[in-house]
Amino acid sequence: MSSYTAPVRDMRFVIGELVDLDAIAALPGCEDVGPDLVEAVLEEAGKLAGNVLDPLNQQADRNGARWTEAGVVAAPGFAEAYQQFIEGGWNGLACPTEYDGQGLPELLGTATHEMWNAANMAFALCPMLTLGAIEAIQHYATDELKAAYLANMVAGTWTGTMNLTEPQAGSDLAAVRSKAVPEGDHYRISGQKIFITWGDHDMTDNVVHLVLARLPDAPAGVRGISLFLVPKFLLNADGTPGERNTVQCVSIEHKLGIHGSPTCVLAFEEAIGYLVGTANKGLAHMFTMMNEARLKVGLQGLAQADRAYQQARWYANDRIQGRTVVDQGDARSPIINHPDVRRMLMTMRAQAEAMRAVAYTTAAQVDIARRHPDEAVRKAAQARVDLMIPIVKGWSTETGQDVTSIGIQVHGGMGYVEETGAAQYFRDARITTIYEGTTAIQANDFVGRKLALDRGAAMQALLADMRATLAGLDAADGEDLAVIRTRLAPAVDALEEAADWVVANYEACQADVLGAAFNLLMMAGCVCGGWQMARAALAASAQLAAGGDPKFYGAKLVTARFYAEQLLPRAGALLTVAKAGAASMMALDPEQF
Query: Which helix (H) or strand (E) is 188 found in, with range?
Result: strand 186-197
- 3-class secondary structure, 247: strand
Under 8 Å between Cβ of 305 and 223: no
Instruction: Please name which of 336, 289, 302 lies closest in space to residue 111, comparing C-alpha atoms.
Output: 302
Under 8 Å between Cβ of 526 and 399: no
- The Cα–Cα gap between 4 and 52 comes to 10
Beta-sheet pairing, 71-73 with 186-197: unpaired
- The Cα–Cα gap between 347 and 406 comes to 9
- The Cα–Cα gap between 525 and 396 comes to 8
- The Cα–Cα gap between 189 and 183 comes to 10
- The Cα–Cα gap between 235 and 243 comes to 7
DSSP string, 278-303: STT-HHHHHHHHHHHHHHHHHHHHHH
The catalytic site residues sit at: 436
Instruction: Please name which of 226, 247, 257 lies closest in space to residue 125, comparing C-alpha atoms.
Output: 257
The upper half-sphere exposure of residue 341, i.e. CA atoms within 13 Å in the direction of its Cβ, equals 24
- The Cα–Cα gap between 240 and 450 comes to 43
Per-residue buried b or exposed e for 85-118, using 16+ beta carbons within 10 Å of the residue's own CB:
bbeeebbbbbbeeebebbbbbbbbbbbbbbbbbb
Under 8 Å between Cβ of 296 and 128: yes
Under 8 Å between Cβ of 324 and 333: yes
- The Cα–Cα gap between 198 and 161 comes to 7
- The Cα–Cα gap between 571 and 524 comes to 8
Return the beta strands (E) in 253-378 as ranges: 263-276
